[in-house]
Chains A and B, each alone.
Chain A
C-alpha cells in the first residue's frame, strides 16, 4: 500500500502529466486556451480572478521554497528553522487566504451567472473539485498543523519535502510519507491526481504564461509559408465551426 500510494501513484501521475502535455500540445493547440468567460460577466471576475491567480503565484512560490529547498540549504545560509517558519507563515497565510477568497468568488460566480455556468463543462467541474480540495487541505495543514499544532507538531520539511525530492532523485522513500499526518497525505495524493488531470483540463494555460512578451518586438511579422503543413481545406466542419443552437432555459 505504501509503495502504491507514495511511489507508483506519483510516478504514474507525473508520467501522465508530461506525456499528456506533449500529446495535448501536439494535437490540440487549438484547445489550448484560458477559456475566459470575461465576456459574460466581469464585475466579480475583476475581483476574484486577480485575487486567485496572484494568491496562487504566492502559493507556488511557497511550495518551491518548502518542498524543493532542503532544510540543510536554509540552515547553511544561516536561516534558523523558526525564522524560516515565520517567513513561511507570513508569506503563506496571505497567499493562501487570497487564493481561497478568489476561488470562492470565482466558484460563486461560475454557479450564479447563468452564461458562465452553461459554459462550464464536466471536465471543469471535476477539475475545480480537485483543485478546491487540494487548496483547502493545504490551508488546513498550514493553519491547523503549523499554526495551532493541532494533533501534534509535524515538520513537513523532515517528511513531505524529502519524500517529494526523492521522487525526482529516482530513489523514492515512501516511508517518509507513510508517517505523515493524514492531512498532508491527502494533500499530496490529491495534488498528484491534479497533476494527472492537468494536461486534459483548462489548467494547461498555466504553461502559456506569456513571458516572451516582455522581450519580443511589439509587431510580429510572419511569412505566409511558415507553417507548410497547416491544416485547412476541404473537410468537415472543425471545432469552432458549429452552428449556434438554442438551449432554452
Chain B
C-alpha cells in the first residue's frame, strides 16, 4: 500500500443555478490575459448540450484518455512512439473553431463617434485575427438549451438514447454541469506530455504544467479527454486549471468554490493507494470503473491506513483533515457522488452528485407531491431518459448506481420533510436506501446547510515539508527571466519572494490595511513603485523610473537589495 493524499472536489448539481459566476471569477483570476482569451479553466455547460469545446466527449473523434487494448492500458491516441512521430503536427488537436474565436468590441467608436443621426455601433472584432467578426459561437452558446434543436441533438452523450429523447421544449430536462480539471489520479495529459512538464504533485495530487519545461508540443491538449488543458497561443505553452494551488496551500478554497453562488462545491482530501491506480484504471468493463475507482480510495479511519500514511510521511493534521473531509463523506460514506466519465480511465477526482431535479420537476408538472418518497421512487423508475443520460455521464452508462444515488436523494427529501414539518420520522425511508435516520440527517446537513468550514476542509501546506512552500513555477506563465535584475525596474522586479505560508499573514495584513506605505512581501515597500498592469501606456507614471531619492530609499530601507 502506498498512501497518497489527493485534493478533491464534489459538486452537488442539484444546486447549480447556471449563473457562471465560477467561470467568470476563475477567468478574472487566471485567464484574463492575452493568449488565453478562449481559455476557461472552469466552464459551466447546459446538459444536454455540446459542452466546451464543442462535442469534447466524443472520444472516437478526439481520442483523449486511455483505452484498454489487449488487457493493457494505453493512451487512446497512441503510445510514446506514435506521439513522437506526430510531434510536428498533432492530428487530434482541436482548432480554435472547436473552441470559439475570442472577440472584443470596438468601444472606441462609441466614445469617439461624432454627433450623427443613427446610433454608432460597437462592432465585434476577433482578438485573433483583428478582423471584424460575426459572433456565431462561444463557450456557452447553447446555454439554457438555446438552439437546442440544432445543437443539443448532437450531444455525444445522447448516443443510444436518441430515439427516446425528444428535445421538444416542454419535454426536455436540463441541468448545469460546471467543470474544472479533474486532477486525475491517472492523468492522460501528463502521460501524453513528451517533455514531462505536466506533473502530479505528490503532496496533494494537484496536476500542474511546469511552464519552464513545457515546450509547446500540444500532446496534452489532445490527450486530456475532458479537454481541460489549453494552449496559450501567445506564449506557446499549455495551461490548465491549477486547483488554485496558491490558495489551497494556505487553506482557502479555490476561486470557483469560494465564489459559487449555489454553495454547491465541497473541497477536501481523499487518501488513495497509488499502487492500485493502474490496476483499477485497467478494469475490464467500462461499467466496472466507478467501483474500481472507489476501490483505490482509502478509509482514513482504518488503523492500517493510518500506519501506512504515517510511513508515507503524511502529516498528522492532513490525516485529521482527511478524516473530516466532506468530500470523502460524500464519495465514500454516503456514496452519492459519482465521477464524471470514469470510462476515460483517468480516475477523475472531481465528483458530482447527480441532479434529482429533472425527476422532481417531472412529478411537480404532473401535479403530484414531488416530495413523496413513493412518487419520487416511482418517477426514478419511470423516467428512463434522465437516468440513462446521467448514467452516460457518470457511470459509463450503468444506470444502477445513478438510480441508487437518486433514490438516496429522494429518500432524504421526503424524510427531511417530515423532520422539518415536525411530523413523525419515518425510519423506513432511510432504511429503504440502506441508511440510518441519523446518517441521513447528517448527509442532509452536509448537503443543505453546511457552513464554509464544513464545505472546505483544506489543510495548509507544510512549511517544514516544502522549504516554506515556495511555489514551483508551474501553472501560471511566470518566468524567472528577469529575476536577477535589481529592484529598480519597478514593483516586484528583482528577485521576488514567493507567496508562502510564512508571508501569507503579512500579505493579508497588507491587503487589509489602508495605508499604501505598507510593507510588500519580502520587505520591499510599495512607495516609489509602479504597478505596470494599471499603466495605460500614456505618459510616465510617477515612480516608473526611480528618482535619486527613490533609490536611496530602496538601499537604505531594504539594505540587502
Contact = CB atoms under 8 A, between A and B. Distances in A.
Interface in B8-46: 32-35, 37
A118 interface: yes
B37 A36 contact: no
Contact of B125 (A115, A239, A246): A246
Tell me whether chain B's interface is mostly helix, strand or loop, or mixed.
Answer: loop
A215 B80 CA distance: 9
A222 B235 contact: no
A34 B217 CA distance: 7
Interface in B471-498: 471-474, 476-484, 489-493, 495-498
A188 interface: no
A37 B233 contact: yes
Interface string A208-224: 10101110101111111
A94 interface: no
A130 to B, nearest CB: 21
B203 A223 contact: yes
Contact of A36 (B102, B201, B231, B480): B231
Interface in A81-100: none
Interface stretch (A42-50, A68-76, A143-151, A167-175): A42-50
Contact of B215 (A34, A54, A242): A34
Interface in A207-249: 208, 210, 212-214, 216, 218-249
Contact of A220 (B129, B199, B533): B199
Contacts of B231: 36, 38-39
B466 A214 contact: no
B498 A231 contact: yes
B129 A239 contact: no
Given A34-B216, A233-B499, A238 B478 contact: yes
B472 A216 contact: no
Contacts of B190: 218-220
B473 A232 contact: yes
Contacts of A225: 465-467, 469-470
Contacts of A108: none
Given A40-B233, A119-B233, A33 B214 contact: yes
Interface in B164-183: none
B211 interface: yes
Contacts of B499: 232-234
Contacts of A53: 88
B466 to A, nearest CB: 4
A212 to B, nearest CB: 7
B477 A30 contact: yes
Q: Which of B89, B200, B492, B498 has the most CB of A within 10 A?
A: B89
Given A34-B217, A115-B129, A223-B202, A233 B497 contact: yes
Interface stretch (B90-98, B262-270, B553-561): B90-98
Nearest to A52: B88
Interface in B114-129: 125, 127-129
Contact of B81 (A214, A218, A233): A214
Given A114-B131, A235-B491, A246-B104, A27 B481 contact: yes
Nearest to B94: A39
A236 B492 contact: yes
B253 interface: no
Interface string B37-65: 10000000000000000000000000000
B460 to A, nearest CB: 12
Contact of B194 (A213, A223, A233): A213
Contacts of B203: 223-224
Given A39-B231, A240-B476, A235 B492 contact: yes
Interface of B: 32-35, 37, 75, 80-81, 83-84, 87-91, 93, 95-96, 102, 104, 106, 125, 127-131, 186-187, 190-191, 193-196, 198-204, 210-218, 231-237, 246, 249, 461, 465-474, 476-484, 489-493, 495-499, 507, 520-522, 530-533
Q: Which 4 A-B pairs have the closest CB atoms?
A: A235-B492, A240-B477, A30-B479, A210-B194
19 contacts: A34-B216, A35-B216, A49-B89, A114-B130, A115-B129, A214-B81, A220-B198, A222-B199, A232-B246, A234-B497, A234-B507, A235-B496, A238-B481, A239-B481, A240-B33, A240-B477, A240-B478, A244-B102, A246-B106
